[in-house]
Amino acid sequence: MTDLVYSTGASVTTMSSREIAELTGKEHRNVKRDIEKMLKDLGEDVLKVERIYFDSMNRQQTEHLLDRDLTENLLLGYSPVLRRKVLARLRELEAGATQTANLAALNDPAMLRHLLLENVEKVLALEAAVSDLEPKANAYAFLTRTDGTMCITDAAKVLERRPKDFFAWLQGKKWIYRRAGNAHWVGYQDKIQSGLLDHRVEEVTRGDGSTKITEQVRITSKGMAKLGEMIRQLSPA
């Protein structure tokens, strides 16, 4: 069986005519003939891809080394099954070349310093992102312990806003309002329909046995995410 040979340069992976012959089941001389015809049609010099090797009987022979473009061009005249085999092997060679280049980079002190600095920068960026997301994580943790909603006062604390200012801000953004003669806050209908707010009406029993109706507007998890994004956009970069 012919030995499988390939060569990997600094940036170009090549496949030998011998390996193409092995993968396709063709005679090596026929593959060489196909390559030479292709190069002639392309106006390329065959000597540029020719290489000397010694066969199992130590006789001097020639083979051709093709880059990806020339390999794919050659395969246009082959069957889909053969094209698939050769291209799969070519991808293996390219993956091996990438791994070799990575190992070479690790042996280069300058490149190693560059990679270490790059990783340090990524770690610092991740730490900053975690710090920025911590208030949101606290909010989601709180929500999972309840019914998935949060009163406006608690939401203000999670979003690091004074409750009084937060109520006024939500009113200005047309999230909540008060009906005339009513002290309770009410959510705008479009925010409720969008799943950002939930309006609760409950009957509460007093200590003397009488009942009263209470109203409360609550912010859903979807609403908290939306408000967090709105506040982030207001913050200076």
200: closest CA among 216, 211, 178?
Answer: 216
Residue with more model confidence, 106 or 10: 106
Q: Is the pLDDT assigned to residue 26 strictly greater than 80?
A: yes
What's the pLDDT score for residue 8? Answer: 42
Strand order in the sheet with 13-16: 6-8, 13-16, 60-66, 50-54
User: What 3-state class would DSSP assign to 197?
Assistant: strand
118: closest CA among 213, 84, 126, 176?
Answer: 126
d(CA 173, CA 189): 13
| pLDDT tens string 27-75 | 999 999 999 988 888 898 989 999 998 888 888 999 999 888 888 888 8
What's the pLDDT score for residue 79? Answer: 74
Residue with more model confidence, 146 or 108: 108
Q: Is the pLDDT assigned to residue 230 strictly greater than 90?
A: no
| pLDDT tens string 121-168 | 777 777 776 666 665 555 555 554 455 688 889 888 888 889 999 999
Domain ranges, ordered by start, for the chain: 6-106, 135-234
**Assessment of whether the complete model's pTM goes beyond 0.95:** no
Per-residue pLDDT band for 101 (boundaries 50, 70, 90) equals low
What's the pLDDT score for residue 209? Answer: 75
